[in-house]
Structure 1
Amino acid sequence: MLKFFLLFILINSLNGLNLPNGSPSLYIPVKDNIELLDTNNFKQSVFGSERAWFVEFYSHWCGACQRYAAHWKEIALKTKPWHSKVIQVAAINCADPINDDLCRDFNIEYYPTLRIFPPFAQYDKPEHDSKIINQKDDLEVEMIKYLEKIETLPKKWPIFKEFTSKRLDVLFVSNKNAKYALLMIEKKDSILGMQMMLDFAEHADNLIIRRTTEESNPLLIQKLNVNLRKLPIIFLIENSKGSLKKYESFSDSKKFIPNDLDSKLDEREKFKRMIEKFINDNISVLNNMENKIQIIDDKVDDIADEKSQENSNKISMLDLEASLNVMLRSEISHSNLLNGEKLASLKIWIKTLAKYFPGRKEVKEYLKNLDTKLNSLQTDEITGTQWKQMTNDAQTSDSFLADKSEWMNCKGSKPNFRGFPCSLWTLFHTLTVSQIEHENSKTKPFDDSFSVKEVFEPIRLFVKYFFRCQECSTNFQNETHDYLENLKQPHDAVLYLWKVHNRVNKRLASDLTTDPAHPKIQFPSKELCPNCYNGTEEFNEEETLKFLLSHYSSQNIQELKEDKLEDADSIGLDVNEKEFKIEGDGLNEDVDESLRVVENKEFEQSDSSSMLFWIFVFFVLIGSYLIYSNLKKGKYKLKKHIV
């Protein structure tokens, strides 16, 4: 019973530790062997460290990042022995507002972005002393190639350069107290020796591992009488007294081969098992570092959050405004520099939002303010920091956008599901319909000044330049490559976007990024719009268009209504005291604490204190359980001895 209680406490404490400020994360630090970074610990962890760092910059809502997470976890697990002394695998969530400035500082244009930092990295160097690694490369090989090129190595690191001396005693010059050395003789282009050095780096105090090749050390290879056709070969050298060291072939000796060694294993695993056996037989007493308690059961991976209630007949203004907030204050501001076509695309996008966003008066005014500020720029470029300041300066008592992102209809069963991408699709659909509503309000709608591409082209440009899930952005461009051929009639943009969205839903229906609580279906469903179907599975486009124009209309949006007017300092600038009510379908109830525009600071402090309390309780309980277990074992042994 105590074990289950401890497991419950551990899960809850890990959930709270995903990110220091409680934002969602794709990773659990201890379980996934990945160090979680944020703006509070990044610089002190990475810069000046004796370890190299391999960091993924990601966003928890990004579908490509969610798919990539399994691979990043695999890399972290595969290189786990490398972490303690040589290179740490880490991740930082750029969708967390606390990391906006940091991700912009590193010019993170797309997710996921991988950066590798050398030991003793310096912040003030170009690119902050880091290098971007292509996520599609063999990451383990890339890590090794990068480490091999580092000239100044920390003292505790393995020596990656090839061993060139013909004297075996030179192996122990770097560590005279080491009892054994392993010398791997391999082909010139092999990385097996370096893999072994890294795999057993934590045993470097007692076991030295070096590598050499026929080209770099022909005299020693001749002296050892190496059969070059049997490479790779490992020799074991004992640090005996005198310069003549005792050595023997490690590869062929049966005493080093585990009884259960599978002949189907690749070379790396074969040698790992042999070296592990040697360490256990000869070094484990000297270097007892493996007494770890496994607490987390793999079966607790998928503990689902409680399902959110969704009113699928309505569009949520909460979702639409949250989409604007993430987009304007986070995604766009992550750009280091906005210039050229990128800045031009931003101006077009903001103008489109200012004209067609079907929101509250204050939000519309806010978008118009941004549009005015952009068009009045006296320069051809601005930085991401300047853009972020511009979004703040556009806030007034009559013009504001809440700096808070909460989801209603787009809330997923877990924080990494749905959210921003869902709300963005919703925004796109409402904009195409809003354009039609805007035209219908004219005395002479759809005249020569009307362009069916007016909304869709800015959408496409936004996704191209500012939707930072690179894979998603590329897919959207591919899905819409024929948009010019399909946008001819006034309502074509509404139907075309609907078709594109359904194609994407079909492609991702069984994808791991899909929320199991909200399956991706062909929209609208028969339940939602029976008339949209022709008695079969095929859509009736005429009826579907009617549905889309109604469903995404401004009349079908659950509005946010101000509960009461506050003074100018609290509206749009400091909205800590501002509350909203939801209208629609007879609803008129106060939104709970989680939907406030800005969370109460005392609540945040209390939440943080609560998390620390539970962590303290967890460790106390673990300690008590271990003491109890040891006492119980001791009591059992004593009784057995007496009997």
Structure 2
Amino acid sequence: MARRSGRATSRFIKLQEMNLRMIAALFFFVCLAFPPAAEAGLYTASDQIVLLSQQNVGSVLVNSSAATVVEFYASWCGHCISFSPIYKKLARDIKEWKPAVNIAAVDCAADENIQICMNYKISGYPTIKFFHAYSTADSAGVPYRGFSRDVRNLRQRIIDSLESHGEPWPPACPPLEPTSETEINNFFETNTVQHLALIFEDAKSYIGREVILDLLQFENVTVRRVLNTESGLVAKLGVTEFPSCYLYYPDGNFTRLRVNFEARAFYSYALQRLPGVIRSGKPPPVTMELVKNSTQEPWRPFDRSRVYMADLESALHHSLRVELAVQSVIKGDSMIALKSYISVLAKYFPGRPVVMNLLKSLNSWLKNQTVDQISYKAFKENVDNTAQVPDAALPEGVRWVGCQGSQPHFRGYPCGVWTLFHVLTVQASNTGDSDPQEVLTAMRNYIHSFFGCRYCADHFENMARESLEVVNTLPSSVLWLWSRHNRVNNRIAGDLSEDPYFPKIQWPSPEVCPSCHMLKDNGEHGWNENQVLTFLGSYFSSSRILLDYLEDENKILKKQTEKHSHKLEDSLAQKHIERIAREALDPITTPVEEEEEEEEPQDETEAYEEDNEGGEDKLAASDIKDKAFEQTPRTNAKLEEVPGHQQAHKIPSIIGMRLKQRRQQEDIVDLDSFVNQHFKAKALQLAASSRVKQRTLQTKVEQEHRQELSLGMELDAGLGMIGLQPIDTDLDLNSIYQGKRLKKRELAGQYIGKGVELFQRGHWISVLSIGFSNVDISLCVILYAVSFTCLVAMYIFFRNRFRRRRVKIALP
């Protein structure tokens, strides 16, 4: 019998080895057949699971001070795929146990991990193994056979593994065995903690051990479990319910911990919020006095049960003016994401009228963009409302209220973004006629393309890729964002980014919404989603948003107007300086070019007056050039030193239009006239001469001391202007340029006044007299009279001749 048994055993071992080889070979071919799936994996760093590889497997599983639970899986395995959500939930559930227990996973379908799975004798998927602390290199781990696909069962299996650990005990793991009355009586002699929590339960309950591990990362509190068989303590404290929790103090006093439900989640939450209890390695929560002194701005008292519009507007400012500014050119998918983001804001943001007007204007501008890219500079001009859309503005700067932190680097913008999108999902749900994924998709694309924390953006993308497609109703979109926000809170609880004054919790807390929490049939904590949805709809409702600490709308609009006015003045002054510099480089300008410049009213001041009708801006704009001249004396001096050059003054816009109209009328004058031809030829000769003075805006009174010969241009004379005129040869050119320069505004007023007076005196006479002398008029009258006489004579002659030749017909 022994021989047969030995043979059977050897055959079994050989058969098992053959099966392992066949499985490995099959596994190898499957890996070759599915390379994309092998590379993908089922878990990411967002799942709070350690991803094992050849590089870290030794440090995680061999001689580690923490116990480790490892799942060996294949990414192509259907059972592994269906089990992955449970394993992720387990990792989040026991996240606070990490100093004592780590959760890890390895993808055996990846080529680089095949050897790892063979070393640990993995023959099926998924396989879960428990590795004790300080395991040796040849340890294959303790497999969990027949494990239930239930988080509660897996959690209890891990506790059983820890209790059977033996020596050496994991140094970070507290004692899990029941305590006694003797130990409790002597506890404060050897411990200095502020709170001692005693959980009374029966022997089969895991609540006490779970709470002990939940409080593992917190200081100033110790948790011990007491069995209902410990009659001395039960009688001393008067315990009648199991489970129940009591706080025991050094002086022997005790009090019962009040919770909504006698369950693990409520015990853990209440104990973590006790006074003086802090997370290990984190500074204690600061008091209000310290908060006021540690922030750059004074502390703003606020109601934690309400949303503040100041937070929403601050989030918009940082998003549109700071975060988007990183990309100088927005194109492709980023352009699509931006359009979707602004469209959702314009549609659902419950803002003040001035902010809503700006968002709608910005949305219309983006929709009208036919190109697939825009510059951020152009986008920011619309955000800053440089086009001056009436009653539209977005306040600049941030003013956090409900999202303010105890230190400047805590909370702030991340809190504002979450609050903003919670409000948008609730507003979209209240409308009842929108796409359930509209807001969530816009949020996902914006975070993917623009959110500054790329690590956070990757985590959010992983969550969206995992479950966003299940959102098919508007209420489910509200709940999806809420549940993912809680998942993020669970992941970053205890990180350096956590504000100790505002710890990351599963929100809403039992104090804020007691009806949102419930117990399942198995005693596990659960959420009453109907109550949660009602709470979220009320909390983020537009009717409950507080307007405290907001800047007045009129002040916002006034600041915006003043800002644009200063920018415009600076821009006009800069353009004028650049123009002077260009003229200095090309000082000699032909009269024809100057006439063309006078015909086109391109002066910056005139353009500004035409675009901005009325108000103080018109009155102030005319002084801009004078200020610019005062700021650039060197440039003006250089222009005056150039021989044969005098600064040209631009004709005011009204006079320029009159001049252009009359020059068009000159073009239809009889060009065959000898007098006109004579004067044109003479004007061209004078223009070609270096001794011809350029056109000026000086009046006749100023020019009387100079010897001049008028060319007979009645228009210029009528307007008080001198045209092209020869200058006496004995007059020194340099002395001409020393004349007094009048300001443009005064000259423009004189010219306009004289022009109006001339127009009232006789507009048609002025028009008909362009280019004619008295002799010309007399000749025209005589020629028209002679022509009329000749026509009359010819008419009489031909009529008489026709009568003579008329044939008379005799009638029979």
Normalising TM by the smaller chain, what interval?
0.3 to 0.5
Q: Which has the higher contact order (CA 8 A, sep 6+)?
A: 1
Instruction: Give the alignment's TM-score, normalised by structure 2.
Output: 0.31
Structure with greater Cα Rg: 2
Structure 1 or 2: larger helix share?
A: 2
TM (normalized to structure 1)?
A: 0.39
